[in-house]
Chains A and B, each alone.
Chain A
Amino acid sequence: MIRMSELSPLPASEAWMPFRPGIDGDWNVAQAAHLYRRGGFGAPLEQLQQAVDQSPDQAVSGLIEAVEPDTYRSTMATLAHAAAASGDTRSLAAWWLRRIISSPAQAQERLVLFWHGHFATSAEKVTDVSLMLQQNELLRTHAMSGFEPFVQAVSQDPAMLLWLDAAASRKAHPNENYARELMELFCLGEGKYTEQDIREAARCFTGWEVRRKQFRFNRFQHDNGSKTVLGVTGEFGGEDVVQVVLQQSAAAEFLICKLVRYYLRDDIADVVNLCQPLIRQYRDNGLVLKPILKQILNSRLFHSPWCVGYRVRSPIDLAAGLLRCFAGSANTVQLSDQTKEAGQGLFFPPGVQGWDEGRAWINTSTLLGRSNLIAEMLADSATRFSGQSPADYVRDKFSDNAETIVRQIQDLLFSRPIPGSTAAQAVELLHRRTDQSIREALQLLCSIPEFQLC
């Protein structure tokens, strides 16, 4: 990637210390909106006001510890199985987008999306919808827990094995694909291993197969010989290799830096040094993610002006974020088709490297696609804001004064100031109070450059 990178205004020793309201900045609705947009996919005004009544620390804990009630989980499970039974990946994508929009466990869904980009597997190749669902549930189960059991589980996940052709890697001709991506994309990063390490690691994974949609170890196809991977020698199997890889000091560094770029901003200069305190702690606690995530979302750097408004909204952020801020719902089949058109199809990452995030979301084509997505969402009768049509909702819920409406939308949806000229045009449209003029005002606001950032 080419881009200018920016040095953190805070040194590593202070960046990750807890945010102090009044000293490091204000703790208000706009700041709480930042927390919910990044940690989850946004929140309606009532939830933000509740968060402001708490301390930032409590709000972060509330966000991370939130769980889905049993009834919600069982409804989601029923819908998921119906989607899987349909054999149509579009149904499954619509199901997940609905969960992203409606789940009370927002931090969890945010991480599931992060992991989907990290362990990117595409339904383009893995056409069995039930296996894609199984992987999605696996990402959810392990989202905040220990990285080693997570990678072990992913390595034996049928969708992953099929995706990276590990499912038919035999003793005589090991297939290198999984071994390479395990080191390059999942755990260590390019340049932290040699080609010889890949060849040797591939031998360790021989005999790992998928039979009747399940992982199976075929000892007849496993290479039992001695292998040397990353300087360690033994008669390794696949589990051993995962362990060896994760024992590298590069592992914690690779993941934490990626996570910090995802949650804060993707153009951080000298990110390894900045992240040292987090990396140390992640290693010390055995690569368990939850406490690190808490620390990141409660940190001075995360709540600093250097971070707010410097992340590019992905198409899912854009669609889900708008709906969540208005307690909305929509036809997610159509909506997930549109996020795909704008560059982010759930279950269809562009390749093994996942989505490139950041500026990569923005090009002339996706910018028009993003605006069109908003237009179609607002025009669709299935789109409801808190049970009402978007126009009714704006008329009922917001003040009568068009200037005040724009100011409220600013706090709720924007991390950057709406330019004066756009605000004036939106006020004029809102003032007319017709269904169409309200929709036009919302589309305008959600298409300007400032809205692409959060």
Chain B
Amino acid sequence: MPNSRRQFLSRSASAAAITFSGRLPVPLLAAVEKKKAPVVLVVIELQGGNDGLNTVVPTSSETYRRLRPNTGIAAGNTLSISSDCGFHPQLQGFAELLEQGKLGIVNGVGYDNPNRSHFESMDIWHTCQRSGDRRPEGWLGRWIESAQRPAGDLTALHLGDQQLPLALKSQQRPVPSIRSKEQFRLRAANADQLQQQLLIASETAESTDDLLGFIRSSTSTALQTSQRIQAIGRRSTTATVWPDGNLSRKLQTVSGLIRAGLETSVYYLSLGGFDTHAQQPDVHGRLLRQLGDATAAFMRDLAETEHADRVMLMCFSEFGRRVAENASAGTDHGTAGPVFLIGNQVLAGLHGDLPDLNQLENDDLKYHTDFRQVYADVLENWFQTDSREILSGSWLPSGAIRS
């Protein structure tokens, strides 16, 4: 992308940010349902609190250099984004995507009264509810319910061995979790027989209660999903060179499922290890390398296919990290951070100002874009859905997705 365009985008986004007040006054939002082939959102959750300042480095900030003597990244080593910032040197994947006009960076994303507990902050991002509020479902779970796809449809899929992310939790539509396609099948001497027997057992109505009902419906979903995914056949291999690592393997599975014609709209993945309290530089660099290389490979894998325009990735973390580093060459829990959107329909470049390092609150960055504005962008402009009910209020979309 030519430099001038990048700068233009950066400037216009900054101008837009000034008017950001968060909530929109009245129904400025178009609730029109455009008819379109079903789109796909791939969420990548960066677990542990990604250090936004070393991801999108504020290269022109004196304060940054002063507060990060051991963990800071020299301006000359960054991959330039604008005259004020650059990517971590290991983020060549992101730099490539930005160059191709496929990567948008929403700066300074957070929320009021930031919570610095991993779990609590993650739950806030997942449900849009504070602790103490009822949290029966997640924001994507609410979308899954509102999308009203036929029963039995695999609207969303979680790839991972951890528990189902709260974001995908819905009251009516259980979302399956799988570790990998290969692992996701029943192994037994007589698997078909066992499959049938277990389906009968999980559909019995004998002595039911809420907990047993939950296990029965999960068992039945597991068996049916496994059958469907195994039936799709072996992943067709493409010429794409995939990097090593778990995230890359998961994205490769997702790409295979998309190309095989699975009509799933949300894939949810995670990459852990961002809680860099000590010896941050090496660990963080390796993680970012994995993130950048895997997402770039994923986009390359789909680039020449009919699916290229219907796939978007979103990368977020529960919080950023403290501006000043600690004594262990690491950083402690902080607040606002960047959210990344990747896809052909993304408005590439920077959206919103870089957080001001000279205007801190309790030594932490002040957010200027609420995370619900990014969600509103995804819901309104990607899923073409009215976001107000899902987000319990009107949020001005962050403006990073072509409407």
Contact = CB atoms under 8 A, between A and B. Distances in A.
Interface string B223-239: 00110000000000000
Interface in B251-272: 272
A440 B186 contact: no
A368 B194 contact: no
Interface residues of B, number: 64
Contact of B177 (A168, A190, A363, A440): A363
B183 interface: yes
Contacts of A447: 194, 198
A357 to B, nearest CB: 10
B131 interface: yes
B246 interface: no
A365 B117 contact: no
B160 to A, nearest CB: 8
A364 B211 contact: no
Contact of B214 (A174, A362, A421): A362
A331 interface: no
Label chain B's interface by main secondary structure: loop
B362 A195 contact: yes
B177 A453 contact: no
Contacts of A177: 275, 277, 332
Interface stretch (A48-56, A133-141, A369-377): A369-377
B249 interface: no
Contacts of B131: 190-191
Given A2-B137, A440-B190, A425 B197 contact: yes
A448 interface: yes
B149 interface: no
Interface in A419-433: 419-422, 425
A164 B176 CA distance: 33
A379 B189 CA distance: 9
A341 B226 CA distance: 17
Nearest to A350: B162
A271 to B, nearest CB: 16
Interface in A251-287: 267
A81 interface: no
A371 to B, nearest CB: 6
Given A365-B161, A365-B179, A440 B332 contact: no
A362 B212 CA distance: 11
Contacts of B204: 419, 421-422
A200 interface: no
B212 A416 contact: yes
B332 A176 contact: yes
Given A176-B333, A365-B222, A440 B193 contact: yes
Given A439-B189, A443-B188, A371 B218 contact: no
A318 to B, nearest CB: 13
Contacts of A267: 211
A305 B288 CA distance: 51
A224 B163 CA distance: 43
B197 A365 contact: no
A169 B332 CA distance: 12
Interface of A: 2, 4, 164-165, 167-177, 180, 184, 190-191, 195, 198, 267, 310, 312, 341, 343, 350-353, 356, 359-360, 362-369, 371-372, 375-376, 379, 416-417, 419-422, 425, 436, 439-440, 443-444, 447-450, 452-453
In the complex, the 9 A-B pairs of residues with the closest C-beta atoms, listed nearest first: A170-B327, A173-B327, A364-B222, A165-B278, A165-B277, A364-B176, A363-B177, A360-B163, A449-B215
10 contacts: A175-B277, A184-B117, A190-B119, A350-B162, A365-B177, A365-B183, A375-B189, A416-B207, A421-B201, A450-B212
Interface of B: 47, 116-120, 131, 135-137, 158, 161-164, 166, 169, 176-179, 183-190, 193-194, 197-198, 200-202, 204, 206-207, 210-212, 214-216, 218-219, 221-222, 225-226, 272, 275, 277-278, 324-328, 330, 332-333, 362
